[in-house]
A and B are shown apart, each in its own frame.
Chain A
Amino acid sequence: MATKTVSKPAKKKTTVKKSNGVAKPEFSKEQYLKWYEDMLVMRKIEEKAGQLYIQQKFGGFCHLYIGQEAVVAGTMSACEPGDKHITAYRDHAHPIGLGIHPKYMMAELYGKTTGMSKGKGGSMHMFHKDVNLMGGHGIVGAQIPMGAGIAFAEKYNETGNVCFCSFGDGAARQGALHETFNMAMMWSLPVVFIIENNNYAMGTSIARTTNVEDLADIGKSYHMKSETVDGMSVEAVHHAIADAAEYCRKGKGPVLLNIETYRYKGHSMSDPQKYRTKEEVEQYKAVDPIQQVLNTIKENKFATDAAVKKIQDKAKGIVEESVKFAEESPLPNREELYEDVYKQEDYPFVREYK
């Protein structure tokens, strides 16, 4: 039956603290300023990436994280240096949260040799071994068993490290998730499964794909410690991640965090977004995660207006520097196609032309 009905709006998020009456800040001034700067850089670099994509400066797919920044920022502030990270193809913000200058991400979008994956992975495949970012994966949900496997190795080597494995609400429909949840529980693997739940698998809302609308229930069905988190609040994300990581480090097993967030942009650059209303988008922009942090900074006088402006200018400068770096970096030599396919250096590729 054909229908023009707009999907039902996402569930209302946890109410944020209103700004009348200053709430006592939960974290240090430095932490709020760092969150603000990191999230602003994520936002601004992706806004720029979106513009450049429309200008056809680079090709491929381009899935933007705009609106979801608190999930990465809160995860990265709560993790430890030895922890591992793996995510899906909406992966531009993760390296920034881990401290990698965004110019390497931008160069990857441009397919340049200076990119995070030497221009061989593109938008969907951001890797950086120095900060244990193990992708960027393009097949929906494929990183779920891989994330459990990464955690398996940490447990095997008794490191005490945790793997943070992120995926969208759409990936929660894959069979790989259910197989993995079962084994991760059987083997008490130190993995935090993070659903970056923006309520839409491309254009299909959660309500249109399942009867189990509270995604935390999926974990509970495997007796996994599971909770739902306000993903528009970086503090809430940080707390949830810190608690989950501690639970894993104690050897108690995996945790599922259903982090409810929202993407302001379409699934990809070609998404007309007919599945949701403008009002719904505005509803979330009203609780924008970056604005929330800025409000806290201002209410607590953590920074003067001039100091805030300085951060904004810095973010702008980083974006400009990143684009310049990407545009001026060299494209790969064609022969590089035959490198990084095998570790074996003299692998005899079948080559009919040279």
Chain B
Amino acid sequence: MKTVQFREALREAMSEEMRSDERVFLMGEEVAEYNGAYKVSQGMLDEFGPKRIIDTPIAELGFAGIGVGAAMNGLRPIVEFMTWNFAILAADQIINSAAKMLQMSGGQYGCPIVFRGGNGTAGQLAATHSQSFEAFYAHVPGLKVITPSNPYDAKGLLKAAIRDEDPVVFLESEKMYGDKGEIPENEYIVPIGIADIKRSGSDVTIVSFGKIIKEAYKAAEELSKDGIECEIIDLRTIRPIDYNTVVESVKKTNRCVVLEESWPIASISSEIAYHVQRYAFDHLDAPVQRITQSDTPFAFSPPLIEEASPNAARLIQAVKEVAYA
């Protein structure tokens, strides 16, 4: 094993896949000569050259569409968005083109493409730069959606995404790029669509994903001191969701809290809560609870951020409520 930063894990995934498959290339704003806005692609221009590491103008819709066309025509594009907030400008190509190409063409043209970049809040960046898009894209049939929470999963899942025949939305975080974690020296893959139990416990199931899951780790440590053992499920893939792992865990713990970075309405937490009540109803000893971001745009000033953000303290309270502790 070796210790790497999250950004290095992503870079290794892309570089390994580019070494083994000539069809794979990376395009996006500042990915080449600037070495990546967040240094994810640092050094890749030197290794692969300008044919395969391509700086684009600031034109998300245009270069996303160029990626889609290239994918339809046999290449394996990785399209980097500086953040997913800016990819809203490219949503037509992701949702109307990439996600639907295979069906609209009656199976003749697929779209093996990875759209990736930073997602969610990243400090005092105010309303337009602080959004999480798991639920947005998970809503769309035809896409796969991945949101890793540590370097190990990030590398293995990104490699799987690049090899996948279907279009993948890959959600990272500017706040996670510096996170360190252990990964194997040798090549490995983490399959898409399988959740991971990050902590075993018998009392309450916490379902989460992405960078906010760290708040669950903190909460679980605190709760353990009070004798409440949490099982933490990292969804890792948001479409398709590994419902089975969640339902089986709830059948064991009889309690469920969902922790999510985004807004409450039509969210992944509401989706999980639906499935738990539908498929583990008789096992529940308490209503499913959730901790999400406030039902407001994300504001600039620190106390407003404090008020908006899900955190360990709120999660602890929710867990205690479902545990009647």
Which A residues have a C-beta under 8 Å from some C-beta of B? 84, 86, 115-121, 125, 127-129, 134-139, 142, 144-154, 156-157, 163, 175-176, 178-180, 182-183, 186, 339-344, 347-349
Q: List 6 A-B contacts (CB under 8 A).
A: A121-B104, A127-B105, A137-B97, A145-B63, A146-B93, A153-B69
The interface residues of chain B lying within 8 Å CB-to-CB of A137 are: 97
Query: What residue of chain B has the Cβ atom nearest to residue A153's Cβ?
Result: B73
* Number of A-B pairs, beta carbon distance below 8 Å: 156
B47 to chain A, nearest CB (A): 17
Indicate if the CB atoms of B105 and A117 lie closer than 8 Å: yes
Contact partner of B92 (CB less than 8 A), chosen from A86, A139, A150, is A139
Residue picked from A127, A129, A144, A146, most chain B C-beta under 10 Å? A146
Indicate if the CB atoms of A183 and B69 lie closer than 8 Å: no
Question: Measured between alpha carbons, how far is A71 from B70 in the docked complex, in Å?
Answer: 25
Query: When A and B form their complex, which 10 residue pairs have the shortest distance between CB atoms, in order from nearest?
Result: A149-B69, A145-B65, A179-B62, A118-B106, A343-B165, A117-B106, A179-B59, A146-B69, A153-B73, A127-B105
Indicate if the CB atoms of A150 and B69 lie closer than 8 Å: yes
Segment of B107-115, B121-129, B282-290, B305-313 in the binding face: B107-115
Indicate if the CB atoms of B97 and A146 lie closer than 8 Å: yes
Asked whether B68 is an interface residue with its Cβ less than 8 Å from the other chain, the reply is: yes
Asked whether B66 is an interface residue with its Cβ less than 8 Å from the other chain, the reply is: yes
Asked whether B8 is an interface residue with its Cβ less than 8 Å from the other chain, the reply is: no
Q: In residues 75-125 of chain B, which contact A (Cβ within 8 Å)?
A: 75, 92-93, 96-97, 101-110, 112
Given contacts A183-B63, A183-B66, A344-B165, contact A84 B73 (CB under 8 A): yes
Indicate if the CB atoms of A142 and B108 lie closer than 8 Å: no
Question: Measured between alpha carbons, how far is A152 from B165 in the docked complex, in Å?
Answer: 19
Indicate if the CB atoms of A182 and B59 lie closer than 8 Å: yes
Query: What residue of chain A has the Cβ atom nearest to residue B97's Cβ?
Result: A142
The interface residues of chain B lying within 8 Å CB-to-CB of A340 are: 102-103, 105-107
Indicate if the CB atoms of A342 and B142 lie closer than 8 Å: yes
The interface residues of chain B lying within 8 Å CB-to-CB of A153 are: 69-70, 73-75
Indicate if the CB atoms of A145 and B107 lie closer than 8 Å: no
The interface residues of chain A lying within 8 Å CB-to-CB of B63 are: 145, 179, 183
Question: Measured between alpha carbons, how far is A186 from B50 in the docked complex, in Å?
Answer: 13
Question: Measured between alpha carbons, how far is A128 from B63 in the docked complex, in Å?
Answer: 25
Question: Measured between alpha carbons, how far is A152 from B65 in the docked complex, in Å?
Answer: 11
Indicate if the CB atoms of B61 and A145 lie closer than 8 Å: yes
B193 to chain A, nearest CB (A): 7
Residue picked from A117, A151, A154, most chain B C-beta under 10 Å? A117
Q: In residues 150-181 of chain B, which contact A (Cβ within 8 Å)?
A: 164-166
The interface residues of chain B lying within 8 Å CB-to-CB of A347 are: 240
Indicate if the CB atoms of A127 and B109 lie closer than 8 Å: yes
Indicate if the CB atoms of B104 and A120 lie closer than 8 Å: yes
Chain B: how many interface residues by the 8 Å CB criterion? 43
Asked whether B4 is an interface residue with its Cβ less than 8 Å from the other chain, the reply is: no
Asked whether B64 is an interface residue with its Cβ less than 8 Å from the other chain, the reply is: yes
Given contacts A139-B96, A183-B59, contact A156 B105 (CB under 8 A): no
Residue picked from B73, B108, B112, B240, most chain A C-beta under 10 Å? B73
Indicate if the CB atoms of A149 and B67 lie closer than 8 Å: yes
The interface residues of chain B lying within 8 Å CB-to-CB of A138 are: 96
B157 to chain A, nearest CB (A): 15
Indicate if the CB atoms of B108 and A150 lie closer than 8 Å: no
Question: Measured between alpha carbons, how far is A150 from B103 in the docked complex, in Å?
Answer: 19
Query: What residue of chain B has the Cβ atom nearest to residue A179's Cβ?
Result: B62
Indicate if the CB atoms of A341 and B102 lie closer than 8 Å: yes
A24 to chain B, nearest CB (A): 40
Indicate if the CB atoms of B57 and A152 lie closer than 8 Å: no
The interface residues of chain A lying within 8 Å CB-to-CB of B103 are: 120-121, 340-341
Indicate if the CB atoms of A135 and B109 lie closer than 8 Å: yes
Indicate if the CB atoms of A176 and B62 lie closer than 8 Å: yes
Indicate if the CB atoms of A176 and B109 lie closer than 8 Å: no
Given contacts A145-B64, A149-B65, contact A136 B70 (CB under 8 A): no
A61 to chain B, nearest CB (A): 14
The interface residues of chain A lying within 8 Å CB-to-CB of B273 are: none
Question: Measured between alpha carbons, how far is A343 from B102 in the docked complex, in Å?
Answer: 8
Indicate if the CB atoms of B92 and A142 lie closer than 8 Å: yes
Asked whether B141 is an interface residue with its Cβ less than 8 Å from the other chain, the reply is: yes
Asked whether B133 is an interface residue with its Cβ less than 8 Å from the other chain, the reply is: no
Given contacts A129-B108, A176-B65, A344-B166, contact A156 B93 (CB under 8 A): no
Question: Measured between alpha carbons, how far is A238 from B65 in the docked complex, in Å?
Answer: 28
Indicate if the CB atoms of A175 and B61 lie closer than 8 Å: yes
Question: Measured between alpha carbons, how far is A293 from B166 in the docked complex, in Å?
Answer: 46
The interface residues of chain B lying within 8 Å CB-to-CB of A178 are: 62
Question: Measured between alpha carbons, how far is A127 from B100 in the docked complex, in Å?
Answer: 13
The interface residues of chain B lying within 8 Å CB-to-CB of A183 are: 56-57, 59, 62-63, 66
B194 to chain A, nearest CB (A): 11
B192 to chain A, nearest CB (A): 9
Question: Measured between alpha carbons, how far is A129 from B104 in the docked complex, in Å?
Answer: 13
The interface residues of chain B lying within 8 Å CB-to-CB of A342 are: 102, 142, 144, 165-166
The interface residues of chain A lying within 8 Å CB-to-CB of B141 are: 341, 349
Given contacts A149-B71, A344-B165, contact A135 B66 (CB under 8 A): no
A109 to chain B, nearest CB (A): 14
